[in-house]
Amino acid sequence: MKRADFETCAYCPKLCRHVCPVAVGTARESTTPTAMMTGALLALDGIVTPAEGYASAALCTSCGACTEVCLLDQPVRDLLAEARGAWGPRVESLLGTVEGTGTWVAVECDERRWSEALAKKRGGAVARFRTTDHLGARLLDHPARFATHASALRDRLAGRTVIVSCHACERVAREAGLVHEHLSKLQPPESADWVHQPCHGPRIDGAPLPGATACCGAAEPFASVHPEAAAEVARWWERALAGASLATPDTRCGVALRKAGVALRDPVDALLASFA
Amino acid sequence: MDVDALVRTGMRVSQAPLERDAYRRDLWPRDTLRLARDRTRPPSPDVVVWPCTEGQVAAALGWAHDVGAVVVPYGGGSGVCGGAAGRPRSIVVDTKRFDRIGPVDPVARTVEVGAGVLGAHLESALARQGWTTGHSPSSIMCSTVGGYVAARSAGQFSSRYGTFDDILLGAEVVTPSGTKALGEWATGDEDLLPLVSGSEGGLGVVTRTLLRVAPLPARRWLRGYAFPDVLEAEDAMRRIMQADLWPSVLRLYDPIDTRIAHRTRVSEGASVLSRLRDLVAPISGALSALPLALPELVNRLADSLPGECVLIVGFDDDDAAAERALPLLARGRDLGAGPGEHWYAHRHDVSYKLIPIFVQGHFADTMEVASSWANLERLHIAVRDAIGRHAFVMAHLSHAYREGCSIYFSFVGRGTTDVYDAAWRDALDAVRVAGGTVTHHHGAGQLKRDAAAREIGAAFRLWSAAKARLDPGAIMNPGMPFGDREQRGEEPPVLGEGPVFAIDRTSLLASVDPSSPAIDGALAAEGYRLRYRPDRPLLASLRSLRRRDHDVRTTPLYGVQARFPDGLRVRLGHAPRSACGPDLRWELLRTAAIEMVEVAIEPVS
């Protein structure tokens, strides 16, 4: 990691804070991209511990909104991912097993079971793949270890089409080279007052919530490392919606937003409702 | 520190090191320089809280009093003078959870806005409803409404929409002596809004505001004009303002700033430094590698280069005014819409340009001073020469008024804080000697508090009285905005024979005895009349004015000279405007014997 890359942001007058979902949602100075990069810089300088540097870098949701508005084109997302990779804890991923038969495999990453409903919709068998860590999404910050993990995933899911419903699983599937499809393409959510366009993953038709930031706080590893801040970001959406309903193509975002009290509609809801 | 009492209020409370670390400083370039060169930082606060109700703010202030801590209110931390900085045994009150933007009242043309709302978010929300405050500081992405109140901010379109003083109609502030409603929300006769606005957190924590709004302009006419020198262009600016045309944009770049501002494109990776090297390379040879090593020489070389200066002119939804401005711009060369549109598209870029300078171990800073039109050139030369001894310096004129203008100096230097401090010391002295104000819209902070205190002189007692009343324990951001003790300024001159003591025909200002019934006659004899025409004796009228009674187009008062009961005399207020702490002129009008007021005039014909 080059110190100067982090310095540029550390000396910046926080010119991207207004688009950062974490800075806006939590209303803290310590969660601006400037502060995240400063935390990393302090860790590089040995002023704070690597664990603290990791915690700072893990505040980033990797939505990339900061880089979009930065006239210096600072690759904040990539630099913070590099910092997380360098200082983060060792992460293991438990590879689940494929249950059932069928060339399609539904990746169920929250409490809901939807492979049977998808099978009915498809009119053919759909296997199930349970994951509690979004197919090992946190390994994405550790490129070498992710390569090994991706190889194991490819072995386990060879010859199948993986159906994912969230951005974290989708990104792992994409980076691992799995043949995959996003559930929202097969089953869009029911319509709502506004739509949520996730910072990662597919988009859906509809009017986005005016003034909304890019991320709802569900991104990993942010949500796992900073659950309190992630909940604050989701609550920002709840306040901004003021009782209006929201449709999202992404179930991971859906879980976080629903927990914050948002009247939410996502593809799994729609799928389960249509075969209830 | 035991924070259980704070936690019990339900607000978020943190003592985590990295959370506290982020509140060590604002954006004072001196701190950035120290961080970059020495890797040293100011102390961090002990506790940070994020209240979302006035009750929680009051609890935080009460807790601070009980444990012997001081309170630092904090918005976006975008101040550039060190006004919001952590300090030992302090609690930071972050206001950003006061984030509500109310619906616009289209009849009253107002909107209620939480103090923690970022300027960019406010303007986006208003634009969706077809409105604007017209307040667009270059810090708009990272500054809050509460910060605009604290430092009496001014935005890039202030010549039409006013400074934040004009936009702010009401506020709520939590002080150690209780919660106060101010301005249009005030319930009694006394209005503390002028005292709280500009107090830089020294009296309390502003939580909510009532702001004036205007319809979002459908068209913005923008054009650039090249003038052979600053004085010619300055004269055109003055004539446009004194013709009551109220342009939204009127910005004049000196030849150096013209070269840099209109050639630098951050997206291409060019920095101010590299442009500076480009600028001096043709004539300075080897010196181009080290343009900051000999600032006096480089400034002289830059001055000797031939070059025009560019004036950007803009009008919002007012084609008639734009048409009327054309003859006043006739001595300039019409550059078309390009320069104006370029400026508009890049109007926030300057903040990005400064960052690489610090990465390379140098420093950059800005200084915004102001004076009347008649005194502007003197001030310009004095400050440029003072800074130029230590750093490469350029300037532009913006925030134009009928009576005067602000000069915005940008400078880039090389060296430690010793060089930085010397540049500022000389610059502030130069402003004082040249008769300007040391701050037009950045506030005072650690950087200028002594100079600000010198500027208000004996009026410091008005601040002390307000402080003793609203913050008797002196826990609110101590030392801001005037330091802790009076700095004796120069005794104001003894006035001659009234009722008109002086007329500044260039700036259209008159110094008059406001108690005299003969002002109109005396001015008429000189061919002028008061621009603000009161319906009762001038002094009584000024004393009864409320915030909504005037705006940027009808500013009723500039300077005030008065005598305190103990015989001490003071002069307050610099035309066209000073942001040296709160606007104490109104308090002075109420509490002292007024000898003279400086007011706007206009020719009778």
DSSP states of B467-507: HHHH-TT--BSTTTTT-SS----PPPPPP-SSSEEEEETTT
Question: Residue B256: what pLDDT?
Answer: 87
ipTM: 0.91
* Residue A210, preceding peptide bond in cis (omega within 30° of 0): no
pLDDT band, very low/low/confident/very high, at B283 (cuts 50, 70, 90)? very low
Phi, psi dihedrals of residue B313, rounded to the nearest 5°: -125, 135
Distance CA A262, CA B266 (A): 41
Contact B101, B120 (CB under 8 A): no
State how far the alpha carbon of A262 is from the alpha carbons of A19, A220, A240, B125, in Å: 21, 20, 10, 21
* Helix/strand/coil percent split, chain B, to 5: 40, 25, 40
Is the predicted pLDDT of residue B92 greater than 50, yes or no?
A: yes
- Chain B hits for A57, Cβ within 8 Å: none
User: What distance in Å separates the CA atoms of residue B292 and residue B275, rounded to the nearest whole number?
Assistant: 12
What's the whole-number mean pLDDT along residues B137-154? 97
Indicate the fold that domain B4-94 takes in CATH. 3.30.43
Read off φ and ψ for residue A147, nearest 5 degrees: -60, -40
Q: Say if residue B114's pLDDT is above 90.
A: yes
Summarize the confidence of residues B411-416 as an average pLDDT: 92
Contacts of A210 in chain B (CB under 8 A): 125, 128
CA distance B554 to B94: 35
Size of interface A-B (CB pairs under 8 A): 103
Mean pLDDT of B416-420: 95
A153-171 as b/e: b if 16+ CB within 10 A: beeebeebebbbbbbbbbb
CB contact under 8 A, A4 and B349: no
8 Å CB contact of B19 and A17 = no
**Partner B contacted by A48 (CB < 8 A):** yes
Q: In whole angstroms, what is the distance from residue A29 CA to residue B76 CA?
A: 8
Q: Which residue has the higher pLDDT, B101 or B268?
A: B101
A46 near B CB under 8 A: no
- Mean pLDDT to the nearest integer, A132-141: 90
Number of Cβ within 10 Å of residue A141's Cβ equals 24
| Domain over A98-186 is classified CATH 3.40.50 | yes
> Which positions in chain B touch A4 (Cβ < 8 Å)?
359
- The reply to whether B36 touches chain A by the CB within 8 Å rule is yes
Please tell me the predicted confidence (pLDDT) of residue B188.
83
B247, amino acid identity: P
Domain with CATH 3.40.462.40 in chain B: 228-443
Read off the pLDDT band of B271 (50, 70, 90).
low
Burial B132-142 (b: 16+ CB within 10 A, else e): bbbbbbbbbbb
Please state, rounded to an integer, the average pLDDT across all residues of chain B: 92
Average pLDDT over residues B256-262: 78
Give the whole-angstrom CA distance, residue A175 versus residue A161.
15
**Chain B residues with CB inside 8 Å of A18's CB?**
118, 120-121, 141-142
pLDDT tier at B264 (50, 70, 90 boundaries)?
very low
Q: For chain A, what are the domain ranges?
A: 3-87, 98-186, 194-274
> How large a percentage of chain B has pLDDT more than 70?
95
Phi-psi category of A135—alpha, beta or left, where left has phi over 0 and alpha has psi -120 to 50?
A: left
Q: Cβ separation of B18 and A13 shorter than 8 Å?
A: no
Q: What type of residue is B118?
A: L
Q: What is the DSSP letter of A36?
A: H
Query: Is pLDDT at A199 greater than 70 in this prediction?
Result: yes
Residue extent(s) of CATH 3.30.465.10 domains in chain B:
110-216, 457-605
Say if the Cβ atoms of B76 and A28 lie within 8 Å.
no
B141, A14: Cβ pair inside 8 Å?
yes
pLDDT tens for each residue of B48-86: 999 999 999 999 999 999 999 999 999 999 999 999 998
Count of CA atoms in the C-beta half-sphere (13 A) of A72: 24
Tell if the CB–CB gap between A17 and B76 is shorter than 8 Å: yes
Per CB-CB distance under 8 Å, the chain B contacts of A27 are: 50, 94, 96-97, 99, 116
- Taking alpha carbons only, the member of B118, B126, B124, B79 closest to residue B95 is B118
- Does residue B125 belong to the interface with chain A, where contact is any CB pair within 8 Å? yes
Q: Looking at residue B270, what is its pLDDT? A: 44
Count Cβ atoms within 10 A of the Cβ of residue B553 and give its class: 0-12 exposed, 13-18 middle, 19 or more buried.
Answer: middle
Displacement of CA A245 from its chain's centroid (Å): 21
pLDDT of residue B288: 41
In what helix (H) or strand (E) does residue B417 lie, and over which residues does it extend?
A: helix B417-434
Place of tokens 């008649």: B374
CB pair distance less than 8 Å for B141 and A70:
no
Contacts of B78 in chain A (CB under 8 A): 13-14
Query: Does residue B265 carry a pLDDT above 70?
Result: no
The pTM for the full model equals 0.94
**Whose structure tokens read 């009247």?**
A263
Instruction: Name the helix (H) or strand (E) containing B431.
Output: helix B417-434
How confident is residue B262, by pLDDT bands cut at 50, 70 and 90? low
- Note if the bond before A221 is cis, omega within 30 degrees: yes
**CB pair distance less than 8 Å for A15 and B359:** no
The 8-class DSSP code of residue B595 comes to E
Which residues 6+ apart lie within 8 Å of B543 measured at CB? B589, B590
Average pLDDT over residues B200-218: 98
Q: Strand (E) positions, chain A?
A: 98-99, 104-108, 126-130, 161-164, 180-182, 194-195, 245-247, 263-265
DSSP assigned state of A87: H
* DSSP bridge partners of B215: B131
Q: What residue type is B503 in one-letter code?
A: I
Cα B437 to Cα B455: distance, rounded to the nearest angstrom: 7
Q: How far apart are CA A82 and CA A60, in angstroms?
A: 12
Q: Does A209 touch chain B (CB under 8 A)?
A: no
Q: Do B76 and A14 touch (CB under 8 A)?
A: yes
Distance from the first to the final alpha carbon of chain A:
52
Q: For domain B228-443, which architecture applies?
A: 3-Layer(aba) Sandwich (3.40)
- The candidate with the shortest Cα–Cα distance to B427, out of B465, B460, B389, is B389
- Cβ atoms of residues A99 and A128 within 8 Å: yes
- In angstroms, the CA B214 to CA B132 distance is 5
Measured CA to CA, the distance from residue B373 to residue A65 in angstroms comes to: 44
pLDDT tens for each residue of B542-564: 998 888 788 888 889 999 999 99
B168-171: Cβ within 8 A, 24+ apart: B168/B193, B168/B197, B168/B209, B168/B210, B168/B211, B168/B212, B168/B547, B169/B110, B169/B210, B169/B211, B169/B212, B169/B547, B169/B548, B170/B209, B170/B210, B170/B547, B171/B115, B171/B196, B171/B197, B171/B206, B171/B208, B171/B209, B171/B210
Q: What average pLDDT does range A107-113 have in this prediction?
A: 93
pLDDT classification of B284: cutoffs 50, 70, 90: very low
Q: HSE on the CB side for B261, CA within 13 Å? A: 30
pLDDT at B189: 77
Residues of B in contact with A72 (CB under 8 A): 266, 352, 355-356
- What length is written for chain A? 276
CB-closest option in B35, B124, B142 to A13: B142
CA distance, residue B322 to nearest chain A CA (Å): 32
Kindly report the number of other CB atoms within 10 A of residue A132's CB atom.
11
Report chain A's mean pLDDT, rounded to a whole number.
93
Alpha-carbon gap, residue A160 to B419, rounded angstroms: 68
DSSP letter (8 states) at residue B173: E
Q: Does A27 touch chain B (CB under 8 A)?
A: yes
Contact, B137 vs B156, CB < 8 A? yes
Name the nearest CA neighbour of B347 among B253, B458, B207, B208: B253
A-chain residues near B118 (CB < 8 A): 17-18, 24
pLDDT of B273 strictly over 80: no
Distance from CA of B348 to the nearest CA of A (A): 9
- Structure confidence at residue B287 (pLDDT): 40
Q: Average pLDDT for residues A235-252, to the nearest whole number?
A: 94
Spatial contact of B160 and B134, defined as CB atoms under 8 Å apart: yes
Beta-strand pair B309-316/B404-414: unpaired
The beta strands (E) that lie in B134-232 are given as 168-175, 178-183, 205-212, 214-215, 220-227
CA distance A91 to chain B (A): 24
Dihedral pair phi/psi, residue A211, rounded to 5°? 80, 5
pLDDT of B263 = 46
- Confidence band (pLDDT; 50, 70, 90) for A126? very high
CATH 3.30.465.10 assigned to B457-605: yes
Distance CA A57, CA A40 (A): 7
CATH architecture of the region B110-216:
2-Layer Sandwich (3.30)
Chain B within 8 Å of A52 (Cβ-Cβ)? yes
The amino acid sitting at A229 is A
Interchain pair A13, B266: CB under 8 A: no
